[in-house]
Structure 1
Amino acid sequence: MRRDTSILQHITIQINEESIPAVITRKRIRNLYLRIQEDSTLTISAPLYMPKAQIEAFLKEKQVWIVKASHHARQKQAKESAGENGTVLWLGQAYPVKVIPAEREAVMINDGYFCFMTNDPSGSHLSEMYEKFARKQMKMYLEKERIQWDQRICDAHHLPHPAMTIRSMRSRWGSCTPARNHISMNVRLMHYPYECLQYVLLHEYVHLLVPGHPARFYQTVATYMPDWKAASDKLK
């Protein structure tokens, strides 16, 4: 939830028939570096003034490694989403997984089970279904929860309502870039109790008022959510 001060470029790399999300970060370095995050996003660290064509040539040279590493990350994520022991953690509650053969795919919570209706029970496919379902549900929750903060924070301080993106992130639960008036929320919050999502959303809105995390930042958070610490502790 730290403030994102990096200048990032989000792209999609096409390798054969596979689309791989990627993020290019320009830094004061001399060489190019690649890394596959655990959410299968490719991160590229590049020198500030390296030509785009040189970056593209480097990626083309590393195609085999990129595909292999991306597949490995997706398989690992599938185990986390569907659970090694056949459970899904959803809004703080563990549900046993049930895969129901069906031509028309759907995901639902029914009769105490987290149900995947599909004819493809592979871990990677269940992970993709879970991700799509989680993003859809989270978008609905955020649209509901943001109403009060658009009014109480943005309108009250004459600020425009921020754009909002749902992402899968490893190192933070959310991020705010006031210069771009943009908030990102981590889809992995759907594993945790609902109040955690509420807290992180407020946390990022408060960054529109207070940069960084000085004492004044948490004092401001507390004026809107007195019990914010209890929700924050559940994310540790």
Structure 2
Amino acid sequence: MISSLKALIRPTATYAAGDLLDCGEYKLRLKVNARARRISLRIDARSGEAVVTAPRPKHLADAVDFARSRHDWILQHRRNQDAPQAFAPGMALAIRGHTVTLAEKAGVITARPMQTDDGSWQLVTSGDEKLFARRIERYLRQQALKTLQTETDRYAKMLGVSGVKISLFDARGRWGSCTPGRKAIRYSWRVILAPPKVLEYLVAHECAHLKHPDHSDRFWNEVTAMFGDYKPARKWLKTEGHTLFKYSS
């Protein structure tokens, strides 16, 4: 595979933004972003493509070389992405930064947290494999809706906006969307499994769109004014966000 990739990517090759290279076990998408300070590589959670971004078109050849050097990393991250696990007893989840272990408890229809004798927390419910998983997901969605509404109200208030309606969705590669005219925001319910600061960044990001329906400097300045340094949280979504899709019901 490595030899075939080397043959595909020739030193004299020229590349353009938008090119999609067939690397056998995966596809490599080339992008240019003038705001980027360095070459970066990520896995697109929706398409499964490896995406390498360069600051300038002249750096695309170097970007391809960089992607080639991370061949094993790409394959490993794609494998992680392609192996969804149903919620099941014994699985550990981080919910708003707090670790809980899923457990089966007879007679518990609505999933609920329960503290054990040793002080740790379990999220318990009952049912066969499919029903157990559905009940856990229902609980997570409820927690996501409650938490995201609270955070949305908080950040919207900073902008002098009230009455923002939120809803949840589940789509690979998208974390949120905002319709300013309707004061409506949609979030991926899976962000409840992300670190708390990542969830808060997502809310600040979407709320900022209530005033700036673009990604202009004014938009990012608004995000910074409300949230502070957003770059670590933004990077987490780009590089680790795909891990939230390994769970299913």
What's the TM-score once normalised by structure 1's chain length? 0.56
**Residue number in structure 2 paired with 1:200:** 202
Q: Larger C-alpha radius of gyration, 1 or 2?
A: 2
Shift of 1:191: 1.0
By how many angstroms is 1:176 displaced?
Answer: 0.7
User: Contact 1:173–1:186 (CA<8 Å) still a contact in 2?
Assistant: yes
1:181 corresponds to which of 160, 180, 183: 183
State the alpha-carbon separation in 2 of the partners of residues 191 and 146 from structure 1.
17
Q: Cα–Cα, structure 1 residues 188 and 144, in superposed 2: closer, same or farther, change >3 Å?
A: same
Q: Which residue of the other structure, out of 89, 93, 114, is the alignment partner of 2:94?
A: 89
* Preserved contact between residue 100 and residue 122 of structure 2 (Cα < 8 Å): yes
- Alpha-carbon deviations, 1:154-206, whole Å to 9, x = none? 44xxxx53221122222211111223321001110111111211111110010
Which residue identity is paired with 2:107? A
Contact kept in structure 1, 2:164 and 2:183, CA below 8 Å? yes
> Are the aligned partners of 1:88 and 1:114 in contact in 2 as well (CA < 8 Å)?
no
| Structure-2 residue corresponding to 1:110 | 115
Counterpart residue number, 1:136: 142
Give the TM-score taking structure 2 as reference length. Answer: 0.54
Q: Is 1:100 the counterpart of 2:105 in the alignment?
A: yes
The structure 2 residue matched to 1:218, chosen from 201, 220, 223, is 220
Partner of 1:73: none
Which residue of 1 is the match for residue 165 of structure 2?
Answer: 163
Give ranges in structure 1 of 5+ residues lacking alignment. Answer: 1-37, 39-75
Deviation at 1:221, TM superposition (A): 0.6
**Change beyond 3 A, Cα 1:180–1:228:** same
Contact 2:113 2:124 in 1 (8 A): yes
Judge conservation of contact 1:196–1:234 (CA < 8 Å) in 2.
yes
1:230 paired with 2:232, answer yes
1:54 aligns to what? none
Paired amino acid for 1:88:
L
1:93 to partner: Cα distance = 4.9
Provide the secondary structure at the position in 1 that maps to 2:221.
helix
Letter aligned with residue 111 of structure 2? A
- Write the letter of the residue equivalent to 1:169: A
Alpha-carbon distance change, 201 to 103 in structure 1, aligned in 2, over 3 angstroms: closer
The gaps in structure 2 that reach 5 residues or longer are 1-45, 47-82, 240-249
Structure with the higher strand share, 1 or 2: 1
| C-alpha RMSD of matched pairs (Å) | 2.6
State how far apart, in whole Å, the 1-side matches of 2:98 and 2:151 are.
21
Q: How far apart are the structure 1 equivalents of 2:236 and 2:158? A: 25
* Paired residue type of 1:174: G
> What is the aligned partner in structure 1 of residue 56 from structure 2?
none
Q: Is the 8 A contact 1:154 1:161 kept in 2?
A: no
Tell me, in whole angstroms, the C-alpha distance in 2 between the residues paired with 1:96 and 1:161.
Answer: 36
Paired residues of 1:98 and 1:113 also in contact (CA < 8 A): no
Q: Which residue of structure 2 aligns with residue 121 of structure 1?
A: 128
Q: CA deviation at 1:217?
A: 1.6
Q: Identify if the C-alpha distance between structure 1 residues 82 and 113 changes in structure 2 by more than 3 Å, giving closer, same or farther.
A: farther
Q: How far 1:94 moved relative to its partner?
A: 4.5
Identity %: 23
Count of residues in correspondence between the two structures? 154
